[in-house]
Amino acid sequence: MNPLEASYRRLLRAYPVEWREERGEELLAVLMEWAPDHQTRPGVRDALDLIWNGLRTRITSASRAVPQTVMTRMSLLSLAGGAAMSAFCLRYGEVPPPYTPTPHMLITIAPFYSLGTVLYVAWLATVGLLATGVVRNARRATKVLVALTGFVGLTSVASRWNIIAAPPLVLMGFMGLLALSALGAPKVMTGSSRAVLGGLAAIFTGSFFPLYAAFWGAPESGGFYFYRSSSLWIVERCGGFIALALAIGGALASLRRPGWLVAAVLAGVPWLGLALTYWWGPSPDLILPGVLVAAAGGLALLVRDGMRAVSRSRVTLR
């Protein structure tokens, strides 16, 4: 084996094992024919092309293991989850005003606290219209919700409006993207865009939060303020949302490894409880367990279907 072939074989490891077993030698033959004479190392563009397409193939093949019923359920869960979160935030976040007025409080939408009200009402209305069949294009409606989530978040930060609570904003953005990715599967899971979208949503959720916090906060006594709270508590308050979001992201990308997903959910649920308790105080005694059970139940269904899909694909491979 010459050095060029060895290098290409290393790059082909970006592809899934099953794909390599079936198509790897064929692609390697093309790569060797394609390479100019006397070339000893892959070009940078060819290397990036192989790595990028290998990763795309990994995501696509993982998402193809997800049956359509799971995707339908995931889209319904995401839309319903966003609606439930909207109702919860309207009741416990926006009205009555949860904070004592201070100089920090800027413009409110009386009697509501922040621009988040617009998003929550829009989300509830959209899900209601979809449920009653008045609006039929769920994908387009969800696109509007995702755009509105971004718009409300950015407008809150950039203007003098009170800033919407970040965890629900981020989680709702995530749910919108998740619903959008699941709704993008018209017949079966083909194409990589939906899975890529799910992965990006997980990354976005993980990275957006610290950025958002940093934007709001100012350095003070060893940290910065976030919603008039010490940054030292941010992880406690928000870690659950990030963990949950990553766990849901895992449902898209890692159903072939349900063990990982189960571990993420188990790690995420206590964090979520802690975060919600901190965020909304002692009020949600009954709602909190309900939200947790609903979230855990939905995810458990996804995991169960994912495991069935894996066992089915194993039977097919044999």
Intra-chain end-to-end CA distance of the chain, in Å: 31
Query: How distant, in Å, are the alpha carbons of 14, 168, 286, 307, 315 from that of 192?
Result: 15, 28, 40, 21, 24
Determine, following the binding rule CB under 8 A, whether residue 18 of this chain makes contact with another protein. no
Q: In what order do the strands lie in the sheet with 223-226?
A: 219-220, 223-226, 229-230
Question: At its nearest, how many Å lie between another protein and the CB of residue 282?
Answer: 52
CB 150 within 8 A of CB 170: no
Task: Pick from 46, 95, 224, 274 the residue near another protein by CB under 8 A.
Answer: 46
Among 68, 159, 190, 283, the residue binding another protein under the rule CB under 8 A is: 190
Q: Tell me the closest approach of the beta carbon of residue 318 to another protein, in angstroms.
A: 22
How many whole angstroms separate alpha carbon 209 and alpha carbon 219?
17
Question: Which lies closer to another protein via its Cβ, residue 19 or residue 278?
Answer: 19
Identity of the amino acid at 135: V
Q: Is 199 in the site for another protein (CB under 8 A)?
A: no
Residue selected from 2, 41, 52, 210 as contacting another protein according to rule CB under 8 A: 52
The residue within the footprint of another protein, chosen from 23, 104, 139, 140 (CB under 8 A), is 23
Helix (H, G, I), strand (E, B) or coil at 107: strand
Q: Quote the tokens at residue 12.
A: 């082909």
Give the nearer residue to another protein in terms of CB position, either 30 or 211: 30
The binder of another protein chosen from 16, 20, 31, 195 (CB under 8 A):
31
Beta carbon nearer to another protein, 248 or 309? 309
The label of the residue with tokens 């609570």 reads: 165
10 is a site residue for another protein (CB under 8 A): no
Check residue 28 for interaction with another protein (CB under 8 A): yes
Q: Is 30 in the site for another protein (CB under 8 A)?
A: yes
Identify which of 172, 73, 174 has the alpha carbon closest to the alpha carbon of residue 123: 172
Q: How far is CA 211 from CA 159, 205, 215, 243, in A?
A: 17, 10, 6, 17
Of 28 and 129, which CB lies nearer to another protein in the complex structure?
28
* Interface ranges with another protein (CB under 8 A): 23, 25-31, 33-34, 45-46, 49-50, 52-54, 56-57, 60, 190-191
